[in-house]
A and B are shown apart, each in its own frame.
Chain A
Amino acid sequence: MYLDPRWFAVMLGSAAAFSALSPLVYARRFNFFAASLPHAALLAAALGYVAAAFLGGSPAAWAVLLSLPPSLLLVLLLHKGVSEDSATSAFVAFTTSAGVAAVYYVLTSFPARVSLWSYILGDPLLAGWEDAALAVAVAALSIAASLLLLQKEVSIGLDSDFSSLSGIRVKLHDYALAALLTLVSVSLLRAVGFVVEHVALLLPAAISSRLARNTREFLALSVLPSLAAALLGLLLAVQLNLAPAAAYGFVLLAAYLISLLGGGGA
């Protein structure tokens, strides 16, 4: 069985990046946002190709740039009093419609240059050294951000009024978290894929919130099972000729089901 170190770097890097952010998503009840984010990431990836084709530059850099305004607009709508359900519905309606239009345009106009399948299914086995380096760098950024923000995000999640009185700028944290999640999702979309991104962002904290005894464990028990799932998923995928992102998703789901049996937390 051939195992390329770049596959490990991409899979483990992506798993670490998403699972480090997962406790922040859980703490702030940003699940609605995380669940709708892959739609925005797919749109951004497709638009990134279009922008790079016409204006030059890197498709990935364009994708990151173009993904931020819709996400920040969603947070703004929430702050303006629009209900979470309504704002998310509008956000998903826009990003999915525009995403399909953009993907269709890219596939019909640049068929020889672009494969968007990896953005939908995720394909770490096609990763080059550049992708591997990106995954590791994004993972380092996510872990650093989580270490920096977790205490405050849990504090806001527990009780936002007390946090405001303590001088924490809750609205600013909303924007920062939305921007961080968007950047990481868009950056790693190709490795993990549109479909499994939902799982990678949401499940790790669902596992750790049940098992953790304190906030430090909340982060550790989110990242470690996710890394183990990525490793096992990759090995299973290579051995059984499965999609690696899907194998990772299934292993993570199995870990969650096991946590339901064992955990007594939330």
Chain B
Amino acid sequence: MAFAYAGGEYVLEGENLEVEGAGLVTVLGPNGAGKTTFFKLILGLLKPLRGRVYLNGEDVTGDPARAGVHASFVPQLSAVRKDLPATGVEVVEWALRGYSGDERRRRALEILRSVGAEGFAGKRLSSMSGGQLQRVLIARALARDTPILVLDEPFSGVDPRGREELVELLSKLAESRMVLVSTHDPVLTLKRSRLVVVFNRGIRAVGTPDEVYELEMLRKAYGPGVLVIEKCLHVIG
């Protein structure tokens, strides 16, 4: 698949990627690497210049409604407007299909409970912390009941303790579905990932955490800022 914004450099230049089965897949790369664009291509929200996107065998290229049958999405917190007077319960209810009235409310609360968001789900989104909002957005994505869950930088804007809890939650969710997570922090999801995709203006490496968490592999994404000091691997920048 190849993609570039008008007048911009290529974000993908003919790479191919195939991922199968449940588990946590980390798309790792620095800020500005094009991870969000990569996810938008997978989800049909952007159309590639060349190539096709298949989800569960169905061609979903440039067709978000079709992609949405197979995959749900949790955007970056910064991409969600918080000034609108919507509550956590409401946004989860709206994402549900095939339910109505009390049943819909009950199901929404059930999903919110499953991600530990029942305590603050009645609050306005603007009153929630980053970690709380992230849980509500995950619940909203789960309400779509898709086999693939895509999360764009879910740890940004979340405090350190909240991050740990989120990693736990995502690991649990990945037991029964494919969970794609983008992050610029190579440490957070490393131990929990089944597969790591190193991404920086293209797919630089794909492998298990052991295969990818090597100096040369990480330098492909982060450049010379990756240093080994006293047998520890440090990533700067």
Assess the B85–A161 pair: CB atoms within 8 A: no
Query: What residues of chain A lie closer than 8 Å to B125, measured between beta carbons?
Result: 158
Does A151 reach chain B (CB closer than 8 Å)? yes
Does A214 reach chain B (CB closer than 8 Å)? yes
Does A32 reach chain B (CB closer than 8 Å)? no
Interface size on B, residues (CB 8 A): 32
Assess the A158–B124 pair: CB atoms within 8 A: no
Select one of A26, A161, A166, A212 contacting B45, CB under 8 A. A161
Select one of B6, B83, B90 contacting A209, CB under 8 A. B83
The residue among A158, A159, A167 with the most chain B CB atoms within 10 A of its own CB is: A158
| Contact string against A for B residues 65-77, beta-carbon threshold 8 Å, 1 for contact and 0 otherwise | 1011001110100
Whole-angstrom CA separation of A169 from B81 in the bound complex: 19
**Minimum Cβ distance to chain A for residue B5 (Å):** 11
Assess the B90–A214 pair: CB atoms within 8 A: yes
Main secondary structure of the interface of A (DSSP, over half): helix
Given A154-B84, A266-B83, do A214 and B124 touch, yes or no (CB 8 Å)?
Answer: yes
Residue of B nearest to A216 (CB): B90
Assess the B94–A208 pair: CB atoms within 8 A: no
Assess the A161–B124 pair: CB atoms within 8 A: no
Does A96 reach chain B (CB closer than 8 Å)? no
Does B140 reach chain A (CB closer than 8 Å)? yes
Whole-angstrom CA separation of A159 from B94 in the bound complex: 12
Residue of B nearest to A164 (CB): B64
Assess the A164–B126 pair: CB atoms within 8 A: no
Whole-angstrom CA separation of A208 from B84 in the bound complex: 10
Assess the B87–A213 pair: CB atoms within 8 A: yes
Does B233 reach chain A (CB closer than 8 Å)? no
Given A151-B94, A155-B91, A265-B124, do A161 and B86 touch, yes or no (CB 8 Å)?
Answer: no
Whole-angstrom CA separation of A165 from B55 in the bound complex: 13
**Minimum Cβ distance to chain A for residue B88 (Å):** 10
Assess the A165–B72 pair: CB atoms within 8 A: yes
Does B228 reach chain A (CB closer than 8 Å)? no
Query: What residues of chain B lie closer than 8 Å to A212, measured between beta carbons?
Result: 85
Does B187 reach chain A (CB closer than 8 Å)? no
Residue of A nearest to B95 (CB): A166
Query: What residues of chain B lie closer than 8 Å to A27, measured between beta carbons?
Result: 84
Residue of A nearest to B6 (CB): A81
Given A155-B94, A265-B124, do A161 and B87 touch, yes or no (CB 8 Å)?
Answer: no
Given A155-B91, A164-B68, do A214 and B81 touch, yes or no (CB 8 Å)?
Answer: no
Does B49 reach chain A (CB closer than 8 Å)? no
Assess the A165–B64 pair: CB atoms within 8 A: yes
The residue among A81, A152, A154 with the most chain B CB atoms within 10 A of its own CB is: A154
Whole-angstrom CA separation of A213 from B140 in the bound complex: 19
Query: What residues of chain B lie closer than 8 Å to A151, measured between beta carbons?
Result: 90, 94
Query: What residues of chain A lie closer than 8 Å to B67, measured between beta carbons?
Result: 165
**Minimum Cβ distance to chain B for residue A161 (Å):** 5
Assess the A164–B65 pair: CB atoms within 8 A: yes
| Contact string against B for A residues 157-178, beta-carbon threshold 8 Å, 1 for contact and 0 otherwise | 1110110111101000000000
Select one of B65, B79, B81, B140 contacting A167, CB under 8 A. B65
Assess the B144–A166 pair: CB atoms within 8 A: yes
Does B201 reach chain A (CB closer than 8 Å)? no
Given A161-B43, A164-B64, do A265 and B126 touch, yes or no (CB 8 Å)?
Answer: yes
Assess the A165–B85 pair: CB atoms within 8 A: no
Query: What residues of chain B lie closer than 8 Å to A217, measured between beta carbons?
Result: 85
Query: What residues of chain A lie closer than 8 Å to B44, measured between beta carbons?
Result: 165
Query: What residues of chain B lie closer than 8 Å to A159, measured between beta carbons?
Result: 75, 79-81
Does A215 reach chain B (CB closer than 8 Å)? yes
| Contact string against B for A residues 207-224, beta-carbon threshold 8 Å, 1 for contact and 0 otherwise | 011001111011000000
Assess the A218–B80 pair: CB atoms within 8 A: no
Given A158-B91, A218-B85, do A165 and B79 touch, yes or no (CB 8 Å)?
Answer: no
Does B35 reach chain A (CB closer than 8 Å)? no
Whole-angstrom CA separation of A157 from B79 in the bound complex: 11
**What are 8 A-B contacts defined by CB distance under 8 Å?**
A158-B86, A165-B64, A165-B73, A166-B95, A169-B65, A209-B84, A215-B87, A265-B85
Question: Contact residues of A with B, CB < 8 Å?
Answer: 26-27, 81, 151-152, 154-155, 157-159, 161-162, 164-167, 169, 208-209, 212-215, 217-218, 265-266
Q: Top 3 closest A-B pairs, CB basis?
A: A165-B68, A266-B83, A212-B85
Task: List 13 extra interface pairs beyond A161-B45, A166-B95, A167-B65, CB under 8 A.
Answer: A151-B90, A155-B91, A157-B81, A158-B81, A158-B125, A162-B73, A165-B72, A165-B144, A166-B144, A214-B85, A214-B124, A215-B84, A218-B84
